[in-house]
Amino acid sequence: MKLLRIARFVSLLVLIILSVSTSFAQTVAGTITGVVTDPSGAVVAGATVTAMNTATGVKTNAVTNGSGIYTIRFLQVGPYALTVEAKGFSASTMNGITLEINQIATVDVGLKISSASSVSVQGTAHPILDTEDVSLGTTLSQTEIENIPLNGRNFSSLTLFEPGAINTDPGGLTGNNAIERATYNSDIVSINGNRQQANNYTIEGADNNEPQNNLIAYNIAPDAVGELRVVTGNANATYGNGNGGTIIAAIK
């Protein structure tokens, strides 16, 4: 009986640890989802959908379900090409898909009937409207980050390009203060009139806030940042613990 109680206690402790670690985990990956149909508009089940990151060449596959729906999760942010193949149809490839941090991109694909499996239909995806996320903010790509002059090499200076963000101390963010961690409010912007400590910083989904004063715990080298998103309003539940801005950094 005593061993049974100990086993139950250990199981409960493991569940608590897992739930706590899960609550603090935040994703920076993207998702591509959509519906595959034939020329008549009927859904195509069993189609193979391949998302290829054109920057790295990494491919991720999925298969449409009985409703013709596919979903490819946990994709690294960046440019993608989407290829759909199904028996009796021409292969269709959509280019120009760019995933941003925590984005759910909806890409519906219509297939054409073909008697020759070697026929391929090429296309370019239109700008994607994210209907799953109503948050307000700006995303800076790797190219933009590399070409923005940062005096002092402080990655937090990138947040100044977001409407509503101001630097309350000109000697702070613009100075030579790209130190290992932020120790002063002047290292952080004020967003939408909130205190600097009201911001929430994450790196690859992990918390990057110093616990004592809620300042930046670690200043990332700008060369290591692949994408930076600043959410200033309507943050979803994943990033809902910041009253000011939510700064989400994805590493290259």
Band (94; pLDDT cuts 50, 70, 90): very high
Whether the per-residue pLDDT at 126 is higher than 70: the answer is no
Whether the per-residue pLDDT at 152 is higher than 90: the answer is no
Could you give the CA distance from residue 219 to residue 199 in angstroms, rounded to a whole number? 14
Band (176; pLDDT cuts 50, 70, 90): very low
Whether the per-residue pLDDT at 90 is higher than 80: the answer is yes
pLDDT of residue 172: 57
Within 13 Å of residue 252, how many CA atoms lie on the same side as its CB?
Answer: 12
Whether the per-residue pLDDT at 181 is higher than 70: the answer is no
CA-wise closest residue to 132 among 226, 30, 232, 63 = 30
Band (7; pLDDT cuts 50, 70, 90): very low
Lowest mean pLDDT among 67-71, 102-106, 177-181, 189-193: 177-181
Report the b/e string of 212-241 with b at 16+ CB within 10 A: eebbbbebbebeebbbbbbbbeebeebbee
- Biggest alpha carbon distance in the chain? 70
Mean pLDDT throughout 158-175? 73
Band (102; pLDDT cuts 50, 70, 90): confident
- What residues have CB less than 8 Å from 103, skipping those under 6 apart? 30, 31, 77, 128, 130, 133
pLDDT digits 0-9 by tens, 138-151: 888 888 888 888 77
